[in-house]
Amino acid sequence: MLLTDIKQEIIVKRIENIVSILMDEDSLLKEDLDYREIVKHLVNLTQENLTFEDFDSMPDSELKEHCSFVMATEVLSKIGHEFTPEQMAVFDDAIKRK
């Protein structure tokens, strides 16, 4: 979906504000995620999945919830990148038991 520059700027600014709030509230997000990259990722997801009108009418609380979920998922996706095979086996076993 092609957006006008003004609409694009509105999306970016709103997501930047939400990401800043979330990173201020949770130091783990701030430590493990690159601000610019996660904003870019969230903007791309927004443009792929929502019309501008849906995005614009979404309450900040709902947008914050969606952004928080994506950011937490990104942090969790990094788990295991540095695990040894033995550590990964223990992690997999723990996940399967849940």
**For residue range 11-61, what is the model confidence (pLDDT) as tens digits?**
999 999 999 999 999 998 999 999 999 999 999 999 999 999 999 999 999
Q: pTM of the predicted model, to two decimals? A: 0.79
Per-residue pLDDT, 79: 76
Per-residue pLDDT, 72: 93
Q: At what angle do helices 60-77 and 35-49 cross, to 10 degrees?
A: 120
* Contacts of residue 30, Cβ cutoff 8 Å, sequence gap at least 6: 23, 24
Tokens of 63: 């947008």
Per-residue pLDDT, 2: 55
What radius of gyration, in Å, describes the C-alpha atoms of the chain? 16
Q: How many CA atoms lie within 13 A of 17 on its CB side?
A: 8
